[in-house]
Structure 1
Amino acid sequence: MNTITTFEEHGEVLPFWQGTIKEPATLLYFDRHLDLKLISETKIQKIHQRVEKNQSLNILNRDIPCREDEQYAYGLDDFLYAAIDLNMFKKIIWVSPVVEHKGNVNDLGQVFWNLLSLIPQHGTEIIDSFKKYSFGIETKIKNTTLMITTLNNLKYMQLYKESNLITDIDLDFFYNPENKNLYYKLDQVLQILKENKITDTIKTMTYSIKSGFMPEPYRRLSSIFSHKIDMKLISNPARNHLVPIETMAALSNRKPIDQKYLNYLQEKELDILSGIGWKLRSLLLVQMGQLGEAEKCYYQAKEHGDEAFWAAYNIGMSYMKQKDYEHALKWFQQKKGVVDTIQAHSLILQILCHLHLENFEYGLSLAHRTLELLPMRTEIYELIEIFCKKMNMKEKDYIHYKENYQKINQLLKT
């Protein structure tokens, strides 16, 4: 009987791949998220050092998903980048449920473009290799082919031609958080997998419950799934995660909680987490609209060793919604380096703040610097033109950016 190895959180699959993939494979990847955030060069070096010594990468997997420090090298939101850098895959085919309702390949391309556009330092490679097909979109990152498609389009992809095909399923692929139900019936998915002769290639499955992406009652999907395709589940020993499950679920819900529940979470999950706990409390307070208290918790998080930029970003977003651009700018500037996608997005928001504050010269300079990191972000081209016009500059000073903006729009529409 064939087996499927199960994991609590998705980042745990990387050491498994390290031990089982002997040559670059094709990964068929069912997930609600594209776990492909940039990893800093320092952390990439840590990963390569362990691989070169034939040591497991497990110890470098973040013990808490939202940890922001240099102690660990990767986690559930960026492990695919590590896999690409290690040349584990020649091709990754992401089957996304979120875009299933979209009617054409242009919609699919826009979704893919928006996600990839916030990965710093890779924009030019992605633009140059961006291709559309009737069944999905293809591009490259570090010479690995990356595709996005949907469940119903798998039949057009001739997967039987892929050598060394490995299928990985994150069970949050099935769960729709908006209506708290499933995107698909399990039998519907299984039928498509069988029609495409994929079932025997399923090697790994992840629950994503502790991170808040899927409710505990849906854990049973794994056993139902494996039973229907006559495969045996093998549980991989989980990392000793100190995951604040209820807190992460409350943050994923994006709705305000009351003070009583906040106090409960503080006592049950947050006190033990030191700086990370303060950051999470800050994030919850932002959702509750208590920005003053959220700011205090942010500084406590910093004092206790967490970078806490996630909290700073959310505080900045709240001020921006209030059109308090001066305070928003202050919070978006809390992190100087740019690795994470929210750090990348904060640069764009800083440019917008400078525009509203009429800091035109500095805003234009920042827009030029940001474009070098994020050349896929079309709003930066538009902002450069706006700044130039505000400063009464001639069209020749921004026509190059205007033309590039038009080229990108054409690429996405054709």
Structure 2
Amino acid sequence: MAPVVLVTFAGRQKRMEILTDYIREAMDRGIIDEWHIWDFTRSQNDHEWISREFGPARYMGSGAQYQLAGTVTNQSWFRASASITNDLHIAILPHDDSDHFFEIVIGGWDNQYTALRKLPRSELMNSERPNDSAIWTRSTPGILSPGMPNQIVLKSDAGGVQLHVNHVLVGQWQEINLPFGASIMVRGGWGAGLELGNSGSRIQRFLGNPDERPPYWQAYNYYATRLQRFSDTVFLKCDDDIVYVDVDKLDGFIEFRRSNPNYFIVSANVVNNGVCAYWQQVAGSLPDRLGQFEHPPGGFGGSLWQSGKRATELHDFFLQSHDKRLPLPAQVVEWKGRQSINFISWLGKDLVHMALPKGDDEAQLTIDLPELLGRLTAIYSDFMVSHLSFGPQENGLDVDRLIDAYGALMRARRK
């Protein structure tokens, strides 16, 4: 059976904690095989939570800062499998020296040299280095292979540290003495993203370049450039503020996606989504007393998208409903036009079309590509999720109360 991978652009801790519980349940049931969390956080606190909650980064863009990758001691070596074309940076942070760190650059200067630096710890997250900062260099032409994951081993003993790359001893340094061990951090650089070998974890964290706005094209390009690996995969993608997931119906949604390749994108039936709300009201699932949910102009914007008050009333109606269902006029509503991509699915074989340029990924996925390919999108009625908010709704939305209510709903499901 084709594997199922969920992609989430993360993340705001308070909003994402509820989603995390639902997805872990779906993974425990065997419905989702892997969860790929793209760390597009904008605050340091959220980044630190994502790092603690979901572990070391599997992939990091060329502009990402150092990320913790492991440790090295005199009893245990550091090993890594690193896919990178040049400029693999390794930081060695001795546990008995909080003021300095050692930096090894493997395959720097267009994969021609390897260098060692000793730097103040305060410079760890600064990518700029003085030209004369190296204390050791060696010519290592072609040391990093672009055709396979590079095998990196750091060995520590009483005689210092040794570096092996692809089974070749590249350097050994007596001046790096680690009687109490060291933390190891890694990053790419100078145009080279870094992908570490699969640790076997089903939940993996991916780190894009921090200064990209909007950043989302990086995720689509990651998968599109690995088409052979993911061509048989069923992809789900959801926002980090999905606060309700009907896990019992998720399997049916995935099976529909798998069995209907004619649709380019298939969306869940979403609470607080302009196009879904329109069809929910057409079907009689949303009463007139909640106001008119018009067909959003061009599938974008509209009165719901703009109003925190309307979103709050809609959430309250859903939370108070008995069966947590807002059926559409048909089990499948075919759609031609823009819609919000709060919870969608695509097939891995369609990654051949998804090397998206930087820009509006929502318009590209729901308007431009379906039009180019002559394919429709669809909304699947039986699978409900709830999306907390759009940006314009924030001022009038009672966020804390709603998160508490959805948290209580999530916990009640377990009983």
Query: Structure 2-normalised TM-score?
Result: 0.24
More helix by proportion, 1 or 2?
Answer: 1
- Structure index of larger Rg: 2
Query: Structure 1-normalised TM-score?
Result: 0.25
